[in-house]
Amino acid sequence: MTRERLSPADTRVLLLESIHPDATAFLSKAGYQVQSLDRALEEEELVSRLGEVDVVGIRSRTHLTERVLASAPHLLAIGAFCIGTNQIDLAAASTHGVAVFNAPFSNTRSVVELVISEIVALQRGLTDKSAKMHQGIWDKSAAGSHEVRGRRLGIVGYGNIGSQLSVLAEALGMSVYFYDTADKLALGNAKRCASMEELLELVDIVTLHVDGRPSNRGLFGENEFARMRKGSIFLNLSRGFVVDHAALRSHIESGHLAGAAIDVFPSEPKRKGEPFVSELRGLRNVVLTPHIGGSTEEAQQDIGNFVAGKLHDYLSLGSTSMSVNLPNLALPPRAGEFRVTVVHRNVPGVLAALNSLFASHDMNIEGQYLGTRGDLGYVITDTPNDFSPEVLASLASMPSTVRLRVL
Ligand code: NAI
């Protein structure tokens, strides 16, 4: 459970799936032993390799299951160099006291730029016009083309992406309306709608930026498309399962909607070359993209630096700021010379037991931080006195202790 004072030089970091070289450079410069592979590992390989690893970095194709995590006794932290963490058994990571970090907003700007470009493209019929030109057809006309200036944009889901889109859309002269189930600060001149229905009846463009909570399955279907204004356009770059694509197809075919841009699908090919099946194929003025909203080199670079920074803060200070599963604590540098961090089960009496142990060994406490989250607690203690093997053994043997580290 404990390895005393793991120095950076002894810390083994394995990065999989071609994580951006900035991450390798950052972690190597911080002194860690970093090995980088360009592929994902299957479960068997993970089980045999993670036994000797302190930190693993993955993207979306590596699955860290309960079995894999149970076979990685030294594993301290997982860096998900991506946005989602569905590929990680988070409950198992918490049970083993393994901290998980991701990059929740490194690709926000990339998504927003794609949305803006698609709104302009749809309002000008660019896909149709370009396709015709490639067939040798010169079809110059202003009919059905619009400036985006002055158009009413409706954003459903005003989180990281929705709110940043709001700012850029206003800069282009659009009038922004939004609907969010949570209370959100309206940026600039954006106006909040009391319901999604109100928004749908008001705007010329509807774009979805909701999160993937299960209740959003089927959020947008026949009724919602029917409520949209005739000639309006629809975009979804959030999650595939929130939209009924058969209903979207029928509203495009009937001419009720003038166009759509879709980046996410209920079922997406798992790998390059696998056929893409969708009822939206072959429709005019419908832009289809293979889930690339956040896929830019800038976003990958930002993810690399962001997650590497979080891992380093955790390894060197114990900071869990923005961890996906551990209690979030942004820690200052050590107050005393020595720091011990204890991930523990969130049961009564842990702090009292820890402090009476320190007192009984004449250890003064110069700084102490506690956070809890669900079944887990996390306590960090700074002291001027070194931790004797006896104190560490007592800490490790407390029934509440999940993971102990001396920094
Ligand atoms: P976020 O969590 O910051 O924002 C989501 C917002 O939606 C929250 O404010 C939430 O309160 C709101 N919301 C949830 N359900 C709602 C509902 N039924 N009606 C109205 N509001 C609702 O998430 P973020 O970072 O802005 O991402 C938004 C979506 O974009 C996510 O689903 C994410 O997975 C997806 N995404 C897609 C990418 C792509 O490549 N196409 C890249 C990055 C994110």
Residue 4: pLDDT band with limits 50, 70, 90: low
Whether 239 is a known active-site residue: answer yes
Q: 144 pLDDT exceeds 70?
A: yes
Percentage of the chain exceeding pLDDT 70: 99
Residue 286 · residue 252 · CB < 8 Å: yes
The rounded distance, in Å, linking the Cα atoms of 74 and 334 is 23
Over its C-alpha atoms, the chain yields an Rg (Å, rounded) of 26
Helix axes 21-29, 297-317, angle to 10 degrees: 20
Residue 1: pLDDT band with limits 50, 70, 90: low
Q: 335 pLDDT exceeds 60?
A: yes
Residue 135: pLDDT band with limits 50, 70, 90: very high
The residue to which tokens 């409520």 are assigned? 227
Tell whether ligand 1 has an atom less than 6 A from the beta carbon of residue 180. Answer: yes
Q: What is the pTM of this model?
A: 0.89
Q: 184 pLDDT exceeds 70?
A: yes
Q: How far is CA 197 from CA 47, 75, 206, 248, in A?
A: 50, 48, 11, 17
Cβ neighbours, 10 Å, residue 14: 21
Query: Which of the pair, 273 or 327, is modelled with greater confidence?
Result: 327
**Ligand 1 atom closest to the CA of 211, numbered from 1:** 32
User: What number is the average pLDDT over the span 320-329?
Assistant: 97
The residue to which tokens 């991450």 are assigned? 23
Listing from the earlier edge strand, what are the strands of the sheet with 77-80? 33-36, 12-15, 55-58, 77-80, 99-101
Span 264-314, pLDDT tens digits: 999 999 878 899 999 999 999 999 999 999 999 999 999 999 999 999 999
Span 205-219, pLDDT tens digits: 999 999 999 999 999
Q: 109 pLDDT exceeds 80?
A: yes
Please identify which of the residues 197, 201, 253, 268 carries the catalytic annotation. 268
Q: 316 pLDDT exceeds 80?
A: yes
Cα(50) to ligand 1 centroid in Å equals 33
Instruction: Please give, one letter per residue, the 3-state secondary structure of the chain.
Output: CCCCCCCHHHCEEEECCCCCHHHHHHHHHCCCEEEECCCCCCHHHHHHHHHHCCEEEECCCCCECHHHHHCCCCCCEEEECCCCCCCECHHHHHHCCCEEECCCCCCHHHHHHHHHHHHHHHHCCHHHHHHHHHCCCCCCCCCCCCCCCCCEEEEECCCHHHHHHHHHHHHCCCEEEEECCCCCCCCCCCEECCCHHHHHHHCCEEEECCCCCHHHCCCECHHHHHHCCCCEEEEECCCHHHECHHHHHHHHHCCCEEEEEECCCCCCCCCCCCCCCCCCCCCCCEEECCCCCCCCHHHHHHHHHHHHHHHHHHHHHCCCCCCCCCCCCCCCCCCCCEEEEEEEECCCCHHHHHHHHHHHCCCCCCEEEEEEECCEEEEEEEECCCCCHHHHHHHHHCCCEEEEEEC
User: Positive or negative CA dihedral for 222, 224, 229, 233?
Assistant: negative
Pocket of ligand 1, candidates 166, 210, 264: which has the most ligand atoms within 8 Å of its Cβ, to mutate?
Answer: 210
Cα(190) to ligand 1 centroid in Å equals 18
Span 232-259, pLDDT tens digits: 999 999 999 999 999 999 999 999 999 9
Cα(180) to ligand 1 centroid in Å equals 10
Q: 332 pLDDT exceeds 70?
A: yes
Q: Which tokens is 194 given?
A: 């009391």
User: What pLDDT sits at residue 337?
Assistant: 85
> Which residue's CA is the nearest one to ligand 1's atom 12?
157
239: nearest Cα among 79, 100, 111: 111
Span 21-71, pLDDT tens digits: 999 999 999 999 999 999 999 999 999 999 999 999 999 899 999 999 999
Residue 13 · residue 29 · CB < 8 Å: no
Residue 128: pLDDT band with limits 50, 70, 90: very high
User: What pLDDT sits at residue 336?
Assistant: 73
The rounded distance, in Å, linking the Cα atoms of 286 and 207 is 14
User: What pLDDT sits at residue 182?
Assistant: 98
User: Positive or negative CA dihedral for 124, 128, 134, 138?
Assistant: negative
Cα(218) to ligand 1 centroid in Å equals 15
User: What pLDDT sits at residue 273?
Assistant: 85
Domains and CATH numbers, the chain: 1-107+297-326 (3.40.50.720), 109-288 (3.40.50.720), 327-407 (3.30.70.260)
φ and ψ at 368, to 5 degrees?
-150, 140
Tell whether ligand 1 has an atom less than 6 A from the beta carbon of residue 224. Answer: no
Span 156-177, pLDDT tens digits: 999 999 999 999 999 999 999 9
User: What number is the average pLDDT over the span 306-333?
Assistant: 96
